């Protein structure tokens, strides 16, 4: 075998073998090839996708000069599960169980956004009690989500007690959500037309107990972190992004509010009766990680206010639309071993009414039809504008469900926030974005 | 002679003109409305199925007229007439169907004009209306749609722009120069639908692996299009296992 060099490629000659052409990289003066005009210290660091500080499977490729980041590139897609495609193959009600798994820290927001889009397509109004309970569980969920944001923030900055405290408090919320929906996460509790079921007995009392405990825990959080000099110096002036930058990059949620713009869809485009609740939109004017931390802390307090008001205005009533052609026929009941089928309902369809059985079968297997058209429904998730663009062609399954996930959009700001800063500040910047990769990659 | 895509029989049974009604099969291979129980009471076929082909008449109602008038003033009547083929108001939302040659002129005006001020591009995504607009997508009824959701924070308004292209010539100008946030949105739309955004700074796949074949969210791309292989056993894609079609 002879080696023939391609004169146009002095570094990689090739030769033909029985297995095809083989290239031999013969070396060369790599210092010349990669001559670095900016200095000796250019270093490309691959951070992630498996890295404890990147909030899940996020990959950052950082160009470093010394400790300064000159370029930050973000690679995503490691958690892509094709949820949008999957929803096209299930009926409208089943869609809830898919979308709830996207932004897994804010499952109830995904369900609510999706269901509100389906209801807008159907042209149905949900009962008042269902709307109030939706607000109630969403605000509980917002607290849980912000607590995880703060906990992981603490962990990534080296304040491990912040993490243990945050997760401890979040567990209280998850216990409540488990009591209400049957599951800690991925609830599939909010359904097109209302809710899967009413609040169980005792839930209101337990939420009220939580409301008594939580303000003190928020104060503890402030005592633990807010006044701490290390915490302040790690966060202040880090990950700067002003309003102009936010709008150009489409950034919404706490990041935008920390830059000073009080843009909260619950206020500016109210839904589910948010306009009748009394709450503030916390803002900061620092446009940095510190401001985002303070905004999230303040939003926990606002959510507590909203939960209290929602509890006060709970009136007895249905939690599902009257139309039996839409309302899910199966009823759930809470047994001693957890949530399960309602035996009364099973008895009714199996033993008493043939028509009820047919009705149940048709609605559960085929589902209801949704008139053709398209809608875009935005709601304020803990991370910003969560938009559902849902297209129906008049059949029992969605034609297209596109989710404008706030994490996906906000993550684009990583480069703007971290280039020119120190590598340690990249961690703070990404943590202050609070991306959830399940939502980013869908 | 009827091919597999011919739905004229179904449409006739529904009393809808063949080219304008789009209908999908229900579960279990049922054709037509499949309605044996009265569930079909909700069926309402828009002209053209999901992609309604009619245009809403003025006045549109709400702020839609103000936005439209401001847009006409900003770009000029001739450009507007050439750019916007039709306008649809449905369920309190307005959609402008835009010709791709004029997309950038329109979005630039929508962002910058004082009376419009759509500062935020909420979302860019694609929809594949493969067989929803009739049996076969035709040049005058292209299957791939790019949908832009624009938000005006100043006036608290939302509009939707829609650009339709054929799969053979799936090129749309990129709006990244006007809305930098569209960068990842357009990469995702390229990745999922194979729509090329001309002028995008780095149009590469974003969610799927770099060497992936095909564009998964096109309607002719099956769910689970990859056979999954375990030790000595091959699991066929779900769409060939069950009636997911």
- Contacts of range A159-167, beta carbons closer than 8 Å, 24 or more positions apart: A159/A224, A159/A225, A159/A228, A159/A230, A159/A231, A161/A224, A162/A221, A162/A224, A162/A225, A165/A217, A165/A220, A165/A221, A165/A224, A166/A221
* Segment A92-99 mean pLDDT: 90
What is the 3-state composition of chain B as percent helix, strand, coil, each rounded to the nearest 5? 25, 20, 55
Q: Taking residues A63-74, what's their average pLDDT?
A: 87
Between CA A6 and CA A26 the distance in angstroms is: 12
Q: In terms of Cα–Cα distance, which of A271, A270, A269 is closest to A115?
A: A271
With CB atoms and an 8 Å threshold, state whether A393 touches B127.
Answer: no
Q: Do A402 and B147 touch (CB under 8 A)?
A: yes
Distance from CA of A170 to the nearest CA of B (A): 30
Closest-CA distance of chain B to residue A395, Å: 6
Q: Read off the pLDDT band of B38 (50, 70, 90).
A: very low
**Do the chains contact at B91 and A77, CB–CB below 8 Å?**
no
Q: What is the pLDDT of residues B119-138, one digit of tens each?
A: 999 999 998 887 544 434 55
Q: Which of A249, A369, A402 sits opposite B43 (nearest CB)?
A: A369
Whole-number pLDDT of residue A183: 85
Which residues does chain B have within 8 Å of residue A441's beta carbon, measured at their own beta carbons? 207
Interface contact B42-A268, CB threshold 8 A? no
Measured distance CA(B128)–CA(A425) in Å, rounded: 42
Distance CA A163, CA A145 (A): 13
Q: What is the mean pLDDT of residues A209-226?
A: 90
Chain A positions in Cβ-Cβ contact with residue B208 (cut-off 8 Å) = 77, 80
Q: Which segment of A87-96, A149-158, A310-319, A335-344 scores lowest on mean pLDDT?
A: A335-344
Asked if residue B177 has pLDDT above 80, the reply is: yes
Residue A208 makes CB contacts below 8 A (sequence gap 6+) with A311
Please tell me the predicted confidence (pLDDT) of residue B9.
Answer: 38
**pLDDT number for residue A15:** 77
- Please judge whether B91 and A120 are an interchain contact, meaning their C-beta atoms are less than 8 angstroms apart: yes
What is chain A's mean pLDDT, rounded?
A: 86
Query: Is the per-residue pLDDT at A267 higher than 50?
Result: yes
Nearest to B245 by CA among B2, B5, B66: B5
Residue A441 has pLDDT above 50, yes or no: yes
Report the residue of chain B nearest A361, measured CA to CA.
B37
Q: Which of A123, A249, A375 sits opposite B180 (nearest CB)?
A: A249
Top pLDDT among A324 and A279 is at A279
Identify the residue among A77, A246, A379 best suited for mutation to test binding to B, counting B beta carbons within 10 A and taking the highest.
Answer: A77
Q: Do the beta carbons of residue B110 and residue B116 sit within 8 Å?
A: yes
Asked if B127 lies within 8 A of A402 by C-beta distance, the reply is yes
Q: What percent of chain B has pLDDT over 70?
A: 66
CA distances to A178, A222, A276, A311, B32 from A208, in Å: 16, 22, 21, 8, 52
| CB within 8 Å: B208 and A86 | no
Q: Is the pLDDT of residue B15 over 50?
A: no
Residue B48 CA, chain-centre distance (Å), reads 13
The per-residue pLDDT for A18 is 82
Structure tokens at A117: 């889009």
Report pLDDT digits (tens) over B195-244.
999 999 989 989 888 888 888 888 877 766 566 666 777 776 665 665 54
Give the model's pLDDT for residue B7: 36
Q: What is the pLDDT of residue B226?
A: 66
Most confident residue range from A25-29, A302-306, A318-322, A363-367? A302-306
Asked whether the predicted pLDDT for residue A220 surpasses 50, the reply is: yes
What is the predicted pLDDT for the residue at A342?
79
Q: Is the pLDDT of residue B75 over 70?
A: yes
Beta strand B144-152 pairing with B157-165: antiparallel
Distances (CA, A) of A14 to A18, A28, A30, A151, B64: 13, 15, 19, 55, 64
Give the span between the Cα atoms of A155 and A47, in whole angstroms: 17
């935020």: which residue's tokens? Answer: B120
Q: For helices A289-312 and A423-433, what crossing angle results, to 10°?
A: 20
Look at residue A229 and tell me whether its pLDDT is greater than 50: yes
The pLDDT value given to residue B23: 43
Nearest to A125 by CA among A219, A67, A192: A192
- Chain B residue numbers with beta carbons less than 8 Å from the beta carbon of A365 are 27-28
Beta-carbon contacts of residue B32 (< 8 Å; ≥ 6 apart) = B10, B13, B14, B23
**In chain B, whose CA is at the least distance from the CA of A247?**
B120
Is B90's CB within 8 Å of A373's CB? yes
SS3 letters across A153-201: HHHHHCCHHHHHHHHHHHHHHHHHHHHHHCCCCCCCCEECCEECCCCCC
Q: What is the pLDDT of residue B140?
A: 62
**What is the token pair recorded at A52?**
């404890």
User: How close, in Å, is residue B7 to chain A by CA atoms?
Assistant: 15
Q: Tokens 């002679």 appear where?
A: B1
Q: Is the dihedral of CA A103, A106, A108, A112 positive or negative?
A: negative
* Cross-chain Cβ contact B24/A393 below 8 Å: yes
pLDDT of residue A399: 86
Question: pLDDT grade, residue A224 (50/70/90)?
Answer: confident
Q: Which two tokens stand for residue A371?
A: 């008139």
pLDDT value, residue A11: 61
Among A201-210, A281-290, A359-368, A409-418, which is the least confidently predicted range?
A359-368
Ramachandran area for residue A368 (φ above 0: left; ψ -120 to 50: alpha; else beta): beta
Q: Which of A136-145, A285-294, A337-346, A363-372 has the lowest mean pLDDT?
A: A337-346
| Eight-class DSSP state of A404 | E
Taking alpha carbons only, the member of A442, A113, A399 closest to residue B127 is A399
A399 vs B37, B90, B132: nearest CB: B132
Choosing among B24, B29, B39, which should be mutated to test the A contact, i.e. which has the most A CBs within 10 A? B39
Distance CA A27, CA A67 (A): 30
Which of B36, B206, B238 has the most A C-beta neighbours within 10 Å, making it the best mutation to test the interface with A? Answer: B206
pTM score, two decimals? 0.82
Which helix (H) or strand (E) is A380 found in, with range? strand A373-381
Grade residue B3 by pLDDT with cuts at 50, 70 and 90: very low
Separation in Å, CA B219 to CA A92, A303, B130, B174, B215:
18, 41, 6, 23, 9
How does pLDDT run across A13-47, given as a tens digit for each residue? Answer: 677 888 787 777 665 555 555 555 555 667 888 88
Q: Is the pLDDT of residue A341 over 50?
A: yes
Residues of A in contact with B175 (CB under 8 A): none
Other Cβ atoms less than 10 A from the Cβ of A347: the count is 10
Q: State the pLDDT at residue B1.
A: 34
Alpha-carbon distance A164 to nearest alpha carbon in chain B (angstroms): 33
Angle between helices B103-112 and B64-75 (to 10 degrees): 110
| pLDDT the model gives residue B22 | 41
Tell me the ipTM for this assembly. Answer: 0.82
Phi, psi angle pair for A416, to nearest 5°: -60, -35
Identify all chain A residues contacting B10, using CB atoms and an 8 Å cutoff.
none
CB contact under 8 A, A376 and B244: no
Please report, for residues A374, B96, B161, the alpha-carbon distance to residue B55 in angstroms, rounded to integers and kept in the order given. Answer: 15, 10, 14
What is the per-residue pLDDT for A281? Answer: 92
pLDDT at residue B32 tops 60: no
């Amino acid at each position: 075998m002879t080696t023939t060099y391609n004169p146009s490629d002095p570094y990689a000659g090739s030769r033909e073998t029985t297995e095809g052409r083989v290239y031999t990289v013969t070396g060369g003066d790599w210092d010349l090839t990669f001559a670095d005009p900016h200095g000796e210290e250019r270093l490309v660091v691959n951070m992630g996708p498996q890295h404890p500080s990147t909030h899940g499977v996020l990959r950052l490729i950082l160009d470093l000069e010394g400790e300064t980041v000159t370029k930050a590139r973000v690679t995503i897609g490691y958690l892509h599960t094709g949820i949008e495609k999957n929803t096209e193959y299930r009926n409208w009600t089943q869609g809830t169980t898919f979308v709830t798994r996207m932004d897994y820290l804010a499952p109830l927001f995904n369900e609510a956004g999706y269901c509100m889009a389906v209801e807008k397509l159907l042209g149905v109004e949900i009962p008042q009690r269902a709307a109030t309970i939706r607000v109630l569980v969403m605000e509980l969920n917002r607290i849980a989500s912000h607590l995880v944001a703060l906990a992981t923030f603490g962990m990534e900055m080296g304040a491990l007690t912040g993490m243990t405290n945050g997760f401890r408090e979040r567990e209280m919320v998850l216990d409540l959500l488990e009591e209400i929906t049957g599951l800690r996460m991925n609830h599939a509790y909010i359904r097109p037309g209302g809710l899967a079921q009413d609040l169980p007995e005792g839930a209101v009392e337990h939420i009220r107990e939580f409301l008594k405990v939580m303000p003190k825990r928020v104060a503890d959080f402030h005592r633990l972190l807010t006044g701490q000099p290390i915490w302040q110096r790690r966060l202040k002036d880090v990950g700067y992004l002003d309003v102009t930058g936010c709008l150009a990059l489409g950034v919404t949620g706490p990041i935008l509010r920390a830059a000073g713009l009080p843009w909260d869809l619950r206020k500016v485009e109210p839904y589910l009766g948010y306009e009748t609740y009394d709450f503030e939109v916390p803002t900061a004017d620092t446009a940095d990680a510190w401001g985002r931390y303070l905004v999230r802390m303040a939003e926990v307090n606002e959510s507590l206010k909203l939960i209290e008001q929602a509890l006060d205005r709970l009136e007895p009533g249905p939690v599902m639309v009257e139309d039996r052609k839409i309302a899910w026929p199966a009823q759930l009941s809470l047994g001693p071993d957890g949530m399960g089928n309602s035996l009364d309902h099973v008895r009714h369809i199996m033993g008493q009414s043939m028509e009820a059985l047919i009705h149940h079968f048709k609605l559960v297997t085929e589902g209801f039809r949704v008139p053709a058209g398209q809608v875009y429904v935005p709601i304020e998730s803990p991370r910003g504008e969560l938009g559902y663009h849902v297209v129906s062609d008049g059949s029992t399954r969605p034609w297209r469900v596109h989710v404008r996930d706030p994490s996906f959009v906000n993550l684009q700001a990583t480069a703007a926030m971290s280039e020119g800063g120190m590598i340690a500040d990249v961690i703070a910047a990404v943590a202050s974005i609070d991306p959830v990769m399940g939502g980013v990659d869908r | 002679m009827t091919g597999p895509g011919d739905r004229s029989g179904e449409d006739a049974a529904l009393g809808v003109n063949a080219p304008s009604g789009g209908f999908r099969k229900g579960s279990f291979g049922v054709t037509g409305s499949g309605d044996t129980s009265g569930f079909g009471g909700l069926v309402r076929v828009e002209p053209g199925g999901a992609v309604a082909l009619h245009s809403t008449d003025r006045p549109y109602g709400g702020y839609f007229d103000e936005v439209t008038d401001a847009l006409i003033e900003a770009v000029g009547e001739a450009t507007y007439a050439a750019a916007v083929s039709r306008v649809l108001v449905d369920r309190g939302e307005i959609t402008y169907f835009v010709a791709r040659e004029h997309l950038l002129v329109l979005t630039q005006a929508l962002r910058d004009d004082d009376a419009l001020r759509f500062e935020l591009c909420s979302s860019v995504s694609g929809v594949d209306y493969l067989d929803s607009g009739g049996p076969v997508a035709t040049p005058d009824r292209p299957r791939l749609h790019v949908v832009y959701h624009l938000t005006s924070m100043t006036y608290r308004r939302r509009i939707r722009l829609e650009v339709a292209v054929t799969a053979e010539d799936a090129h749309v100008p990129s709006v990244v120069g006007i809305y930098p946030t569209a960068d990842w949105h357009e990469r995702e739309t390229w990745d999922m639908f194979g729509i090329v955004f001309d002028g995008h700074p780095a149009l590469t796949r974003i969610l799927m692996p770099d060497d992936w074949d095909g564009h998964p969210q096109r309607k002719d791309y099956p769910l689970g299009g990859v056979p999954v292989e375990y030790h000595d056993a091959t699991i066929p894609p779900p769409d060939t296992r069950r009636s997911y079609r």
